[in-house]
Amino acid sequence: PHPSRSNPAQRLQMPRRGKSAVTRTLTHMAMPDPGRKTIEEAVELERSLRGTQVGMGAACAGHVPTVDMNDECVSQKLWEAAASVGFFTVINHGISAQLIDEAFGASRDFFVLPKEQKHRQSPFAPKSNAGYEFMSQVRPSTGTPDQKESLQVTARASAMDARWPTEPANFERTARSLLIEAHAFAARLLSLLERRACPQVAEGTLTGAHTLWSEGGQCTLRLLHYPPTEAHDPTVNADASRMWRAGPHTDWDCLTLLFQRLGEGGLECASNPNAPGGIEGGWVAVEPVEGGIAVNIGDMLSRWSDGRLYSNLHRVRLPTPAECSPSPRSRYSIAFFMQADKPVLIESEKHEPITAGDYILHRIASNF
């Protein structure tokens, strides 16, 4: 018989023969079938990691799948990665490398400004979920603020009014250009996954549900800066409150594109031994790849697909002593969240219908 799903601690105490301790823990934390996971269950999953071996476990050897978008079997390889691990790296994606470099340059130029100036240039608007934030996002998995600052560009009509930074001067132009290219590529990924993921919807439903700069648009570009911080050595300091630049969580959207810089690691995803074909082990590093973009499935698409696609837990750990040599340094990343427009109704066989707008509002509320 399975342990009680209402008591994560009870599940942690039940070993299984033939698997590593971390794998056993992940298996018994395993969380309800993702196809049946409600918003509340998703939040409870994150809360259940607080202070546990699952939330604090070190990453193991291994890597997430890499999918070449020029491969003649790209649809099948995308499906295998999205339906098992839910995290993968794409190469030959077609997004301009020069544009990506310009976006990282604009990000660095903005974040180097004094904090008060950043707040003035792009004041955060909770109703629009847009603007600058400093260490304000609290994950249910940790109960403490993520050690990062961010600038959220929400591609909805009027959302960025009086919130576009004036420094650097190329910020708005560069962000708008990257939004266009990231949105087009994310739409391509959705179109390749749609038939098998959501057989109940008409062709083109997923791509048509996501627009830029419309009245109900929710797609978002998020520029992230994790300031230099002391290295974490678990043999010296196991204080869980200092463990994460970003605590373990799943994303709320349909899918996320994450742009990373070589030499600025720290992103890790859960191995998901429950998922068919998932990597065995605890946590797996999602290393930056030259010319690659990390992609993960979000809760919204997992719900829409009745769990055929897997929304995976991930986190950003603190730097290691080696990564802080000769001195601590920043980590920069840029995330594009492909989120369906507010009025879109997410309908599936196993869940009650909900609009994409209500879905995102519920998830935002759960993180504060």
Q: pLDDT of 298-309, one tens digit each?
A: 999 999 999 999
256 backbone dihedrals φ, ψ, rounded to 5°: -120, 135
Q: Could you tell me if residue 244 is inside a domain?
A: no
Give the domain CATH number at 140.
2.60.120.330
Q: Which residue in 99, 96, 261 sits closest to 170, CA to CA? A: 99
Q: What is the largest CA-CA distance in the chain?
A: 62
Q: Could you tell me if residue 17 is inside a domain?
A: no
Q: Residue 328: pLDDT band by 50, 70, 90 thresholds?
A: confident
Q: Could you tell me if residue 20 is inside a domain?
A: no
Structural domains in the chain (count): 1
How many CA atoms within 13 Å lie on the side-chain side of 120?
A: 7
Q: Could you tell me if residue 189 is inside a domain?
A: yes
Q: Which of 69-83, 177-191, 221-235 has the lowest mean pLDDT?
A: 221-235
Domain containing 209 equals 59-231+249-367
What's the mean pLDDT when you consider all of the chain? Answer: 82
Q: Where does residue 287 rank: exposed (0-12), middle (13-18), buried (19+ CB within 10 A)? A: middle
Q: Could you tell me if residue 340 is inside a domain?
A: yes
Q: Is the pLDDT score of 152 beyond 90?
A: yes
222-262: per-residue pLDDT in tens?
999 988 887 766 555 555 445 678 778 889 999 999 999 99
Q: Could you tell me if residue 1 is inside a domain?
A: no
Q: Residue 24: pLDDT band by 50, 70, 90 thresholds?
A: very low
Q: Where does residue 188 rank: exposed (0-12), middle (13-18), buried (19+ CB within 10 A)? A: middle
The model's pTM is 0.83
Q: Could you tell me if residue 72 is inside a domain?
A: yes
The Cα 239–Cα 241 span in angstroms is 5
Q: Could you tell me if residue 42 is inside a domain?
A: no
Q: Is the pLDDT score of 176 beyond 60?
A: yes
